[in-house]
Structure 1
Amino acid sequence: MMFALPYIIIAISGFTIFLMLTKKPRYNFDLILSVLVFCIGFQHIYHILLNNGIHSSFLPLRSGAYPLTFGPLLYLYFSFLSQENVKFKFTYILHCLPFLALFLSEAIWGNNLQEPVKDVRLPNFPLSPNIYVLLIFFSVLFYSVILLFQMEKHKKNITNYFSNISLWKDLTWMYWMIGVYVLSNTIIPLIHFFFHENPPYIFVMANSAALLLLTMGLCYFGIRQTIVFTHSESKNQKPEIMKEFVNVVQEENEKYKRSNLKKEEISMITEKIKTYMEIQKPFLDPDFTIETMSHDLGISKHKLSQSLNEGINTSFYAIVNEYRIEEIKLEIKKNIDDRLNFLNLAFAKGFNSKSTFNNAFKKLTGMTPSQYKNKLIA
Structure 2
Amino acid sequence: MMPDQIVNIILLLAGVQGLFLALIILHKFRTLYANCFLALLMFLCGAILLNLYHSETVSSYRFGLVNLFFIGVTFLITPTQYLYTRFLLQPSDRLSHKDLVHLLPMLLYWLSLTPLLTLPPEKIGLYLSSSVFHGIPWRFILFNFALAFAGIVYMTFTLSRLHRFCAGLPAVVSSLEKIQLQWLQTITWLSLFSWVLFAVENGVFMLGDLENYGFGISSAFSGIFIYLLGYWGLLKSDWLLKPQTSRTMEQVEQEAAWSDARGNEGRKYVKSGLSAERSQQYLDALLAVMEEKRPYLDNELSLPQLADLISVTPHHLSEVLNTRLQQTFFDFINHYRIEQVKKDLLDPQKQSMKILALAFDAGFSSKTAFNTLFKKNTGLTPSQYRARCKPAAS
TM bin (shorter chain): 0.7 to 0.9
Distance 1:289 1:73 in 2: 30
Spell out, residue by residue over 1:212-260, the C-alpha distance to the aligned partner (whole angstroms, 9 max, x if none): 23112202211112264743569xxxx9x99777524312362423333
Structure 2 counterparts to residues 282-297 of structure 1, below 5 A: 282-297=295-310
Structure 2 counterparts to residues 1-378 of structure 1, below 5 A: 1-24=6-29, 26-54=31-59, 56-59=62-65, 61-62=67-68, 63-106=70-113, 108-109=115-116, 111=124, 112-114=127-129, 127=139, 129-130=141-142, 132-133=144-145, 135-167=146-178, 169-196=179-206, 198-199=209-210, 204-226=215-237, 228=240, 230-232=242-244, 247-252=254-259, 254=262, 255-262=268-275, 265-335=278-348, 338-377=351-390
Cα distance change, pair 24–187 in 1 and its aligned pair in 2 (3 A): closer
Cα distance change, pair 172–201 in 1 and its aligned pair in 2 (3 A): farther
Distance 2:130 2:367 in 1: 56
Distance 2:139 2:16 in 1: 34
Spell out, residue by residue over 1:276-332, the C-alpha distance to the aligned partner (whole angstroms, 9 max, x if none): 212321111223222222222122211111221232222212211111111011000
Give runs of ≥4 in structure 1 deviating > 6 Å: 200-203, 241-245
SS at 1:251 equivalent: helix
Distance 2:20 2:209 in 1: 33
Aligned residues: 367
Whether the 8 Å contact between 2:34 and 2:88 is mirrored in structure 1 is yes
Whether the 8 Å contact between 2:38 and 2:230 is mirrored in structure 1 is no
Please report the TM-score for the alignment, with normalisation by the length of structure 2.
Answer: 0.80
Offset at residue 76 of structure 1 (A): 0.5
Cα distance change, pair 25–129 in 1 and its aligned pair in 2 (3 A): closer
SS at 1:257 equivalent: coil
Distance 1:121 1:88 in 2: 42
Whether the 8 Å contact between 1:163 and 1:289 is mirrored in structure 2 is yes
Whether the 8 Å contact between 2:374 and 2:382 is mirrored in structure 1 is yes
Whether the 8 Å contact between 1:361 and 1:369 is mirrored in structure 2 is yes
Please, which moves more after superposition, 175-184 or 24-33?
24-33
- 2:196 counterpart letter in structure 1: T
Q: Structure 1: state its 5+ residue gaps.
A: none
Whether the 8 Å contact between 1:136 and 1:186 is mirrored in structure 2 is no
Whether the 8 Å contact between 1:144 and 1:178 is mirrored in structure 2 is yes
- 2:87 counterpart letter in structure 1: F
Distance 1:373 1:158 in 2: 31
Q: Structure 2: state its 5+ residue gaps.
A: 1-5, 118-123, 263-267
- 2:170 counterpart letter in structure 1: T
Spell out, residue by residue over 1:311-368, the C-alpha distance to the aligned partner (whole angstroms, 9 max, x if none): 2222212211111111011000113882222222222222233333333323323333
SS at 2:257 equivalent: coil
SS at 1:250 equivalent: helix
Offset at residue 160 of structure 1 (A): 2.6
Distance 1:115 1:266 in 2: 74
Spell out, residue by residue over 1:92-130, the C-alpha distance to the aligned partner (whole angstroms, 9 max, x if none): 12112112221342354472334999xx997x8x64834
- 1:207 counterpart letter in structure 2: S
SS at 2:8 equivalent: coil
Distance 1:128 1:195 in 2: 12
Spell out, residue by residue over 1:3-52, the C-alpha distance to the aligned partner (whole angstroms, 9 max, x if none): 32211221321232232123246422112011112222212223322333
Please, which moves more after superposition, 215-224 or 25-34?
25-34
RMSD of the alignment, in Å?
3.4
Offset at residue 370 of structure 1 (A): 1.6
Cα distance change, pair 273–202 in 1 and its aligned pair in 2 (3 A): farther
Whether the 8 Å contact between 2:33 and 2:91 is mirrored in structure 1 is no
Cα distance change, pair 50–136 in 1 and its aligned pair in 2 (3 A): closer
Cα distance change, pair 231–30 in 1 and its aligned pair in 2 (3 A): closer
